[in-house]
A = this chain, B = another copy of it.
């Protein structure tokens, strides 16, 4: 999906990953200078990445004031979660109409991964939990639906970073299992219902504890996300 300039992609990707994994928390400033230094590129290049992240809603880019990690309001949070319900309902309905054999196969493979890293590698575990939803969307075969789901899952991570204290992937795993079972049975109604319940649970967990924090040293955090090029 991302094609343009070779050099700005790693910046885009690392920032995105860092935001999703909540290493960069909502509100944190993203100065072009320091980011450029971290990645060894010029501001021009960084800016391209920031423009894109802004378009995706992960970054807030204000004229003359630079970029910072987006700080979703509680209203936006509800809005986004409602949209997510709509999109993932569509995913469920489409999947149940398809040939479920190969779909179930890759879903179960993914689930095995989720199970493997549960209680072992939290970061990875959280990432996998999100990627489960992206995989579901991709399996519909619809590029645009997969894109939208991908985008909205990212924004939900941002919301969790802002409002929830820390999210355990534990309970999510059982629910993922149930969703797969419903798809396997070709029972769209049940699949939709399970997904709805699952997402509602995630949303509810986010409504407590306004866990304000922020204030971090960006370059140190980002350094962990730099993908070394040869």
Contact A142 B51 (CB under 8 A): no
Copies in the assembly, this chain = 2
Instruction: Give the interface residue-count category, chain A.
Output: 20 to 34
A90 at the interface (CB under 8 A from B): yes
**Residues in chain B near residue A90, CB distance under 8 A:** 86
Closest to A62 in B: B3
Residues in B with CB closer than 8 Å to A47 are: 48
Given contacts A61-B3, A63-B3, A63-B5, whether A83 and B142 have CB atoms under 8 Å apart is yes
Contacts of A132 in B (CB 8 A): none
Interface segment, one of A52-60, A168-176, A189-197: A52-60
> Contacting A79 at CB < 8 Å: which of B6, B83, B143?
B143
A residues within 8 Å of B by Cβ? 3-6, 44, 47-48, 51-52, 54-56, 60-63, 76, 79-80, 82-83, 86-87, 90, 142-145, 148, 152
Known: A44-B44, A48-B48. 13 other contacts (CB 8 A): A3-B62, A4-B54, A4-B62, A5-B63, A6-B63, A48-B51, A52-B52, A52-B55, A55-B56, A76-B144, A79-B142, A79-B143, A82-B142
